[in-house]
Each structure stands twice: as C-alpha cells, then as structure tokens.
Structure 1
C-alpha cells in the first residue's frame, strides 16, 4: 500500500511538472500563432522541427543507454559515464558543423538560415536537460525531475510574455529564436555542473546496493556508440513518423499550410505527454530492472498498462472530436479554422498511440532494442513515402492521414514482436 502511494505521488509530480512544461509550450505556440500569423508561425515551426532532428543526434541515445546499462550493471555502470560524455561532445561538434553547412543550401531563405544558426544553442540545452533527466530517473528523485522538465519551457514562456506585454518588443521569429537560444545556453551550463558530479560517482543510484566495485575495463567511445546507436536511431525514426510531416509540408505546400498543421500537432503533442511521462520517465528504469530480475511483475504491469492506455486514449479522442471546432478558433484565432479538420484526423491516432507507447516500451529492455529500431525504421520509411504521395494532393490533411496510417501499422508490428520476443514464455 505504501509502495502504491509512493508511486502515485511520484507519477503525480512528474505529470504536474510535464503539464506545466508542455502547457508553457502550448501557450508559447498560442501567442506566436496569434501574433505573427500562419505564415511566420509555419516558418518558425519548420525551423524548430529541423533543429529538433539535430537535437536527437546529440548524444545519439546516450540518455536512454544510461537507463539500460545502470539498470543492468548497477554501480558498475558508472564506468560508462565519462566516455558517454565525451561521445556527446563529439556529436555536438559534428552537429554544429552540419547545421552551418545546411544553411548554405539554396533551399532556405535568409530568415530561415539565420534562425537555424541561432537555434544551435537550443540543441546544447536540450541534450543537457535530457542527460540530467536520466540521472534523476536513476536516482528516482521525481521532485527534482519534475522541476527540471518544466523549467526550460516555463522560462521561455515567461521571457516571451515579458518581451511582448511588459517591454513592448515585437515577437518576430528571430527574437523568439534568440530567447530559445539563451535558455538553451543556461541549461547547458546548469546541466554540465550536474553531469560533472555524476561522472565522479557523486549520485544516488536507486534499486542497487552499493557494494565494493569490481575492477572492470573502462569503455571506449566506440563502445558507447555500439550501445547507443539503437536508441539514437529509434529517436530519429520516431521523429520522422511523428514530426517530419511539418518539414515536408513546408517544402511541399508552403509556410501557411505548415502553420495550420502545426496547430493540430501542438495539441496532439500536449496530449501525448501522458504516455510519454508514464513510460519514458517513470516506468522505464523499472522496466529495465524487472526485465532482468522480475519477469512476472514485468508482464503483469504490461497487461495493466495496455488496458489503461487504450481506455484513456479513447476517452481523450472523443473529447477532442467533440471540442476541436470550438476550441481551436477560440485559442488560436479564427485564422486557424483550417486546422480543425487536421486535428480531427489526428485525434483518431490517440488510442492507437497511447497503446503503442505501452507495447513498445517493453521492446527497449534487454537486447530487444535492435528489433524495435528495425520496426520503427520500416514505419519511418513508409511515412515518408505516404507524405510524398499525400501532401501534394491533400496538403496538410495528407500529412495527418499519413500519421494515422503509420501509427496503426507501428502498433501492429510492436504487438506481434512483443508476443514473440519479450513475453513468449508468459504466453505459453
């Protein structure tokens, strides 16, 4: 009973922090959508989506690797921290050079080029936050994790509101880009301090006894890459079939259509915080432990989670379908009425996505991650093909249809793989 109360309290804190954080992002997008219009809003959205791709390459899955390796090795896993951080630095150098080269392409206008360069600092802050979040997950310090998750987005929101309403400074996409960059630099520095302490073994790993450590070989950077690449590719493929639509809509249908689509995507992202926190932040460290040491409990939680996610996703889908035609014009403005159709299409994916989070989370454990990456790669490729055919004919609505189809197929592949690989023994 005490354990359940503690779990509920921890989850409540995480969701509260994430709701404030994602709520801040939602308000930021609402303000921008109203003040700069669909075309400029679409330009900013596509630039941030492009930068987000590079953010996923920063560390290339190291934050998830920490959960796996320290969940498996316990305190012996500390040997991975220093080479992991060196690997992160190398990826950041590569990314910075790549973005500068990208801006030289004639695909971009001058505003987009400048914005992409400014947002490089956003990447540094992103990886700092991700790595510290993994540290706090391993320590099961959910109070601090909740605060760490909400602060970047909340800080951006407060500065944007202060600029516009108190200082009367115009909200151009470049000014907003500078705000994102400044907050990125701040959290990169704050994260560096905590990560340096972690590399020296100054953190409280939960779920493992701190016994005398064996003398083991320190991994090299190439060893980190070998462990990290499945997680890095998984993040990249997930981005492709979830967010690449925004970029493709921009270059196929233009900035205005991108602005319409991004409104529906922002709402969808805010809702998906629910399974993201449950499986990505709260259950994932525990899944790694249970998969190695308590498979019966692992299977029991898996079945319960599937039922809860399916029911929750279905209820939220119904709410969205009933309210979108009223809420979108009120919140974002009547300019975004075209977004209603896209939101209704994307709402169909909510119960599917909620269930896919639950089923897919089990494939992160042990050596199943490589299988998960293959399945995600198949769907990412399919999503791009669907976008190429659907967006030219249906615009942003085509991107929404592509997302629904991709998520349905992904769930089917996940479910089949989990039954055959993860819980084959329990199914007998």
Structure 2
C-alpha cells in the first residue's frame, strides 16, 4: 500500500509552538544586526563630524626669504586668514630655516603638513618687470610650496592646497594695499604690455612636492585598501575551520599538530596575501614614482599586517567567540580599523585617538614612510603592531586548544547519539520479532 503523501503542517497550533523557538530569535537577530550596522556606521561617519572646525590642527610653515613687499604681503595675508576653519600658518625664521632644503626637510619629518616660502629677491624681480627693465616675469617664481602628497592625499589635495591657494589669492589684494604698490601704479607705463601684465599678476606659486601621487587610485590607499587584510583572514579562517571540522582533523589530531599545521599554513597564506595586496597597488600605480625596492618593502609590510590580522581572528573567531556572534566582532573590528585611517587623527574628534592603538593605522603610517621616505613613525608604529602580533601568537595557542577540545566533545556526543540510535533500532527490531513470535504461537492451527 502506497504511503500517504506528507503535507506541511500549517495549523495555528503548529505555528504557536514555533513562535518562541523560531520567529522571535529570527526577528531579534535582524534587529541586532541593524543595530550593529547603525552603531558602526555612526562611528565611521563620526570621523567627519564638524571636521571643518578642526582644520586649524593642520600646521603649515611659512618662511619669508624675500624680506620685501611681496614677502610682507604673503605674511599679512596668511595672518588675516587664520581661523578654526583654516590651516594654522606658522612663521618660521630664516635662522632656523636657512634654505628651501631645510624647509622641505621639516615637512618630510612631518613637523608640518606643508610649507610655503617667498623666494629670495621676489620683490626686486617684480619691480624690475614693472618698471620695464626686465621683459620677462613669471609670477609662479614668487612663492614655492611643498607637501607630501603620499600622506593622506585627499586631505593634502583639499584642505592643504586650498589653504595655500587662498593665501596666494589674498596676498595679491594685500600687496595692492601697500604704499609700494600704489607708488608703482602711479609710475606704471601703461603702454608697456609686459609691465602691465606683471603688475596685474604679481604673485603666483609653484609646487615642489614630496613624492607626487597623482593617480586616482590613491584614494583607496587609506580606505578600502585597509578593509582587505582583516576580511581576507576572516574568510580564510572560516574555510579552514569548516574543512578541519568536516574532516575530523580537530577532533582526531593532537593539539600540537593542529597548531603547527595552522601556524605554517597561515604564514604561507598571509605571505601570498601580502604580495597580492602589493601587486594590485603596483598594477594601478600609473606614473607614481615608486621603485622595485618600495614594492619589496610594501610586500613585507603587508605580509606583517596580514599575519597580525590573522592572529587576531585566530585567537577569537570560532573558539572563544561563538559563531553566532562572529559578525558582531568582525564587522566592528573592520570598521574601527578603517575609521582610524580614513582621515588624520588630528582633525577627528578626540575619542578617535584610540586609533593610534590599532594595527591598520600604524600600518598606513609605515606605508607612507615606505612610499615617500618621509613621515617616519616607526617609533610608534612598530611597537603597536608587534604587540598585536606577539599577543596574537600567544592567544592563538589557547584558541587552537579550545577549538580541538570543542571538536572532541562534539565528536563524542555524536558517537554517543549514534550508539543510542543503533541501540534503539536494535531494541525495536527485537520487540517486533517477539511480537511476531507471540502472534504465531497464539494463532489456531490450520485445518
């Protein structure tokens, strides 16, 4: 006889029994994930909160080598622009910064975000052009500015360069207000086109950048690029745990062997991950002036960062942290690390200084040093990263031991359940056979 077709149970009684076990947990999971996303994105967006009021934390050096009308105009213009919404321009002395090389070195050491200086004899050159004794005048030769374009290029190309442009524009107006400019105008030969052009455009600027970084992909260097290390290690760890649990490796092998296998495999994977990360950056470097030596150093740094992130994941995910709560940790870890690199900490709210303790922030500071040869922060970056790396290696040992212990417990429970199932099946068969024998003995003999 054919068995009756099974139909899903849709009775109200069936669903009432599933409210507490299925519906409520599903709804709560959705709510918790939405709150997780809300909290993390608020944290990330908080890095930009009223950022324009902290632009004054970006310091710019100004040195007047001219000591004439143009130099005075630039100094007065920069002083008139000072506010919380404008980079702080500090006037440097010629005794401390005797030449442009010293100024550029100060920017290279990250003492200042940028510097501009009025070139020597700029006022005399302008005067010669205005009175007609010199036929050629280049206003861009009056002021030179410099900044490290590899260091937070979005900030450098926005707040910094816009501030410099504003100073130059204000300097023209300040120059025309001077008595020297008024005297020059009264004697200006309006029939001399070169003199008129020189007077109408007295001050310009030229750039002397530290490591020009003009490729558009530079915006990813301190943003999306720093998402990859923790994300790549998390996915690899999920695959590794799944394979090991499915094959019974964690339950059957010794803890030492499991740790050694995972240790060696992680070093190989993070090494390849590091060269992959360096590879796609170099593939889109375009005209960026980095060298093969910079590539090798970047590879080593990315390997170090990848391995640090792996140790963090290895120490927590799938062992001390249940799988159900893994998204809460991983997503928060990624967002907090990226938030520490998207903008300079100087222009973030004070709380975000916690980013100095995160590996991604220190890794980015080392990237800038490798790519530009400037902004040396190794005294902070290396201790922070090595702390995460060493502690991660230590805690990973305990994590592997717990993972193996949990796997053995699960295997033992599975074996016990399997034995119970077999015992019940055998018992059912015995009862069935006894029932058949009893039935046969009680049946009347056939005629």
TM-score in same-fold range (> 0.5): no
TM-score (norm 1): 0.33
Greater Rg by CA: 2
Q: Give the structure with the higher percent helix.
A: 1
TM-score, scaled to structure 2? 0.32
Greater length-normalized contact order (CA 8 Å, ≥ 6 residues apart): 1
Bigger share in strand: 2
